[in-house]
Structure 1
């Protein structure tokens, strides 16, 4: 966070405030969501297993990744992949 704030000549707290006002989420939440979306794409487009996709996007714990994936997308990584294989489509996702 410090590096990003320094890049735009802001204090960390000012960066956090401005980032949240633009994205409606904190920088850390934004990064987590980005990583989850990237892992989802890797699993569905590249056929990676959830544990491999989790490692590639920076998760050290596959179980933590699975919990956060389910909390965010509403289904487990396995359920998502199974649905995509059967239908060729992603499950609907409501980011609310």
Structure 2
């Protein structure tokens, strides 16, 4: 556990005292906040503060990559293009993404595609091939195989199982 030194505590107390003097606070608080940040980074708690910052960076990288994949789930994505978009190497992207999501970016994109396909199939149950193509699959066999692996049934059966008629026919 890190402890705060007198310089850090003094800057924090000075900032708290300024709260009661709004005119002084408006002018002096930015400098005191900068001093507090400096003392946090360079003083006794510095190692811990930097470590927390690095952990947050991991999630920031994963979040940026995930958002990009969510916006482009239906496109072929190359790992180096995604890493370049996020601003890191492929190895760094994969390491941070897996730490945050427990899956690779490719697995994440596949999940997005299949979840979107399931939603679209509920709206248009007769167009399995069209839905597969719309979410980024080039071939029906791969789409069907991956859909079955995730949901336990092929897309055509999953759609028919979720129709009102099929639901009414199921034993309770």
Identify the TM-score tier after normalising by the shorter chain.
0.7 to 0.9
Give the alignment of 1:1-96 within 5 angstroms.
1-85=79-163, 86-87=166-167
Ranges in structure 2 where 5+ consecutive residues have no aligned partner: 1-78
Query: Rg larger in 1 or in 2?
Result: 2
Two-structure CA RMSD over aligned residues (Å): 1.6
Greater percentage in helix = 2
TM-score, with structure 2 as normaliser: 0.48
Are the structure 2 counterparts of residues 19 and 48 from structure 1 closer, same or farther at C-alpha, using a change threshold of 3 Å?
A: farther
How many angstroms does 1:69 deviate by? Answer: 0.6
TM-score, with structure 1 as normaliser: 0.82
- 8 Å contact from structure 1 (residues 16, 27) kept in 2: yes
Q: How many residues align?
A: 88
How many angstroms does 1:48 deviate by? Answer: 5.0
Q: Which moved more, 1:17-26 or 1:38-47?
A: 38-47
How many angstroms does 1:33 deviate by? Answer: 1.1
Residues 16-57 of structure 1: CA distance to partner in whole angstroms, max 9, x if unpaired?
110010010001011111101111110002435211110001
Ranges in structure 1 where 5+ consecutive residues have no aligned partner: 89-96
How many angstroms does 1:79 deviate by? Answer: 1.4
